[in-house]
Amino acid sequence: MPHAAQLAIITGASTGIGYELARECAEAGFDLLIVADEHAIETAAEGLRQFGTKVEAVEADLSSVEGVEKLLANLGGRPVAALLANAGRGLGRAFIDQDWDDVRRVIDTNVLGTTYLLHAVVPGMKERGSGRVLITGSIAGFIPGTFQAVYNASKAYLDSFSFALRHELKDSGVTVTCLMPGATETDFFERADMMDTKVGTTKKDDAAKVAKDGFQAMMKGEGDVVSGWHNKLQTAIASVTPAGWLAEAHRKMAEPGTAG
């Protein structure tokens, strides 16, 4: 249980897994600085205040350097006990049919914004000799994402980055945990324009359970967490399967027109 004054930053906390991560942090007694790029973050903040800790909401577009700097300005140099870098977006359909601005937004949010935020916050944690970092990667990072190519590649980056950063910070008092959800019931697939695909329409994991598993792993300082036995099995199989087979299997889940 953290001291009441300890601060957790949760990005992408307006909905889905991020909201549930923020709820876990609030229930554990952290003060919260929550971020998303739409006004719904204020509604999320109202909901989270019921747990009795301080909740500040920042509306910032974390796909841009300016957006991350807006968050940092709101932080104002305060020590961060936990950083949950969760904001992210998906994008379905064939790469060559995707709009370039949408492609760029996925890369800028998932890769650039997340990396810049970590680069700004983690040094302070290391200096103080304590801190918890959770990065929301994905089991998608292990699978070439046919009809979701850019998104899966962005998550491969985050999964890899998370393990490397963890090992750079070994024995520093700062731990890095990679949360790797499987398909989870949130607004994600609707926003990614994937509601005509098999993965967009089949039953998915519960966001609250995924977040609980992620939060507990972060607090224990574990390296990675895959929520759910079926996802653990999928990850184990992916690690010994040729990339070409995985890419073809992904087509069956993500190709437009595969909805059941």
Ligand X SMILES: NC(=O)c1ccc[n+]([C@@H]2O[C@H](COP(=O)([O-])OP(=O)(O)OC[C@H]3O[C@@H](n4cnc5c(N)ncnc54)[C@H](OP(=O)(O)O)[C@@H]3O)[C@@H](O)[C@H]2O)c1
Tokens of 185: 């019931």
116 is catalytic: no
Contact status: 148 vs ligand X (CB under 6 A): no
Q: Which of 23, 89, 166, 250 binds ligand X (CB under 6 A)?
A: 89
Q: What is the largest CA-CA distance in the chain?
A: 52
Backbone angles phi, psi at 175, to 5 degrees: -110, 150
Backbone angles phi, psi at 128, to 5 degrees: -80, -15
Instruction: Please state the length of the chain.
Output: 260
Q: Which of 6, 148, 175, 184 binds ligand X (CB under 6 A)?
A: 184
Tokens of 88: 């992210």
Q: Which of 7, 8, 10, 17 binds ligand X (CB under 6 A)?
A: 17
Closest CB 5 distance from ligand X, rounded Å: 25
Q: Which is nearer to ligand X, 89 or 132 (CB)?
A: 89
As a whole number of angstroms, the distance between CA 233 and CA 105 comes to 31
Closest CB 83 distance from ligand X, rounded Å: 14
Interacting stretch for ligand X, rule CB under 6 A, among 120-128, 132-140, 219-227, 237-245?
Answer: 132-140
Q: Which of 186, 197, 231, 258 binds ligand X (CB under 6 A)?
A: 186
List the beta strands (DSSP E) in the chain.
7-11, 31-36, 55-59, 82-85, 131-136, 174-180, 224-226
Judged by the rule CB under 6 A, the positions of this chain that interact with ligand X are 12-18, 36-38, 40, 61-63, 86-90, 109, 136, 138, 140, 181, 183-184, 186-188, 191
